Structure 1
């Protein structure tokens, strides 16, 4: 299953990166630096903005029986199912390496502060899906005690 942020969220982030790049390039042009230097720096800014826009549209989580793939703004990480310890509500994935070291990978695709209510509900739904997937993978412990035995009243 593939979970991605809402389209409105991805569009807003695209507009943000375009605006930041536009402001920076505009500032460079207004400083009247040497033209080749201004052009070179502007190309780098545009390339970084394009990279961030593409990564913004790819952010999300793909999960299944084989494990999780968390795609963030800068990096992606694949985590085999047997190494996933649990999915937290932060949202993040707690996992262990093959050598037993504890690791933590945040899921920035569904994290936010001061969001629209609809976006927050959608993000919580996606986190709930991941946590449900995680809970279904773990075997249920057998019930303890005898559920038919009545308690003694005092």
Structure 2
């Protein structure tokens, strides 16, 4: 298995993985729209010994109170069924966090299972005075600061890019 930054040839495998990993095609369509709009800041793939995509994590820009603060959102995260429960999702997230930190990004937002992402170091956004526009998501909306000062003096609305509004 290899974990690396996605390259153009991975697009078909990512699309296939996302369509199988989720109950609808929404995540696959989201990634297609993000890619078409040039909004994938970072894509991390895991491939099997034959080069097939077995895991994927996408990171795209988010705004804080309408300002670009060098934050990104993590969505989607997918692992092929055969490889679930073996730490691959965690490895994809950590690889992404390390790369984003090296590139100078400040924080990562995610809307997902608090127990899963909490174990990876994400904190409930409300702890920082942050929220997203989707109702009833307070416990699932979480933040991972990549730099100590990235959350100082910041509170308010974290907004995902336009393709997220389509789904």
Q: If the length of structure 2 is used for normalisation, what is the TM-score?
A: 0.27
Which has the higher Rg, Structure 1 or Structure 2?
1
Say which structure is richer in helix.
1
* Structure with larger RCO (C-alpha < 8 A, sep 6+): 2
